[in-house]
Amino acid sequence: MANVAVVGSQWGDEGKGKIVDWLSSRADVIVRFQGGHNAGHTLVINGVTYKLSLLPSGVVRPGKLSVIGNGVVVDPWALLREIENIAAQGVQITPESLIVAENATLILPLHSAVDKAREEARGAGKIGTTGRGIGPAYEDKVARRAIRLCDLADEAVLEHKVDQLLFHHNALLRGLNAPEIDRAELLAQLREIAPRILPYSAVVWQRLEEARAQGKRILFEGAQGAMLDVDHGTYPFVTSSNTVSGNAAAGSGMGPGAVGHVLGITKAYTTRVGSGPFPTELFDDIGELIGAKGKEFGVVTGRKRRCGWFDAVLVRQAVKVGGIDGIALTKLDVLDGIEELKVCTGYRYKGEVIHHLPAGQTAQAEVEPIYETFQGWTESTYGARSWADLPATAIKYIRRIEELIEAPVTLLSTSPERDDTILMRDPFQG
Ligand code: IMP
């Protein structure tokens, strides 16, 4: 029985929440391995909607162990707020059902302040971050001055780390003529949160190893998507972590062999929030229609998502760099009723035809999509539960996508409801 890693294959918001929830009902342990509360997952279970940011999607299912791995940046205030909010919906979270890696990096209030201030200073060149302090927290991590969860239990180290952090950040703030961060206030905030968050702290790699030894099924839950990966995405318009499945191992403390089957969640069209290149973006009525019908607004920030045609070049690239074994295709029904559909099969760049997204910023902005046109379908595919329920032209669209991206459609999601899923192959069977 293989473990499964679920990752986004576009710019995030592919509908991972539903698929992860569906798979988590069949897993024992659900692990977040990167990102932070910039992610937004919507789950609809028995008509009740749950919106999660930092918590693994498994938390809403009793009897599962939810894990926040070392690769995640954890804002303890945001985490406790989320735990309270979900408790108000009747889901109780305890240190028995949720553990957080003791070596996870913390997001501090200063990180979101820096994130927002820098975005403002960038003006037109802004990245369009979620403003949650993700980038600044990862910067502190790789600069080896971050406060980690375990530091909250060690007063001497905590004080020393706060000094190191403020030495760096206050020097910058002084240079910007901005108010400096008060040492005593930050320490007081950290001392106040420590006893509330530390009960969740655990030696995650060890707990995961134990689970593996007992033959438990582990589900690795990715956030964002391959095109937001800090190495493989549309840099610098990316998030600050590796979103590809390779990071599921390092971000949770397991070897690559533990990751198992990689399922890439893929929307039947393309969306992106924030700035940056988007070759198949639509600026017309069809783009508006897709956005409205697909309810394309961010879960975390409420921002309107940019919409466009399916880009097979990008998804094929995500399949290759992310080791995606199969895809879960979502939101096909949003395309119901559109007379003619387009899929990008290559780019024209400087008079040549290319089949990859180049790394350079100018090239990414200048590539022109080459489209293949498909006849649409008038029937509704919403809620379809078998292949036989799908119109022939929809099947043709799916088959051509499989060919172009060089990966099979492992499952097809036809509505936000869990049971509206057509399974072609069980990801847990490898
Ligand atoms: P950050 O992760 O807040 O630093 O934002 C960097 C970029 O990633 C921005 O374009 C965000 O809109 C995007 N982003 C971050 N998290 C998500 C997500 O969960 N879904 C879609 N886009 C995201």
Per residue in 303-353, pLDDT (tens digit) is 899 999 999 999 999 999 999 999 999 999 999 999 999 999 999 999 999
User: What residue numbers does the annotated binding site cover?
Assistant: 12-18, 38-42, 130, 144, 224, 239, 299-305, 331-333, 413-415
Distance 217 CA to ligand 1 centre (A): 29
Mean of pLDDT values over 33-54: 88
pTM: predicted TM-score of the whole model, two decimal places = 0.95
Mutual orientation of helices 109-122 and 155-175 as an angle, nearest 10°? 20
For every residue of 410-424, DSSP letters joined together read: EEEE-SSSTT-EEES
**Domain limits at 122?**
105-198
Residue 429 lies in a domain: no
Domain CATH for 294:
3.90.170.10
Which atom from ligand 1 is nearest to the alpha carbon of 129? Answer: 5
Sole residue written with tokens 């700035």: 275
Q: Which residue's CA is minimally distant from atom 21 of ligand 1?
A: 12
In a domain, 428, yes or no: no
Task: Return the SS3 of 70.
Answer: coil
Is residue 237 pLDDT above 70, yes or no? yes
Q: Which residue, among 290, 331, 294, has the nearest Cα to 421 in the 3D structure?
A: 331
Asked whether residue 378 falls in the same domain as residue 284, the answer is: yes
Protein residues whose CB sits closer than 6 Å to any atom of ligand 1: 11-13, 38-40, 127-130, 132, 134-135, 223-224, 228, 237, 239-240, 273-274
How many domains does the chain divide into?
Answer: 3
Give me the pLDDT at residue 417, please. 82
Q: What would the pLDDT profile of 64-103 be if each residue is shown by its tens digit?
A: 999 999 999 999 999 999 999 999 999 999 999 999 999 9
Residue nearest to atom 19 of ligand 1 (CA): 39
- Alpha-carbon span 401 to 94, nearest angstrom: 43
For atom 11 of ligand 1, the residue with the nearest CA is 129
Give the distance (Å) from ligand 1 centre to CA of residue 104. 20
| CATH code of the domain covering residue 73 | 3.40.440.10
Q: Find the angle CA(109)-CA(122)-CA(241) to the nearest 5 degrees.
A: 55
Provide the token pair at 11: 């710019």
User: Which of 262-271, 335-344, 421-430 has the lowest average pLDDT?
Assistant: 421-430
Rounded average pLDDT over 40-65: 87
Treating both helix axes as pointing N-terminal to C-terminal, what angle do 392-405 and 312-321 enclose, rounded to 10 degrees? 50
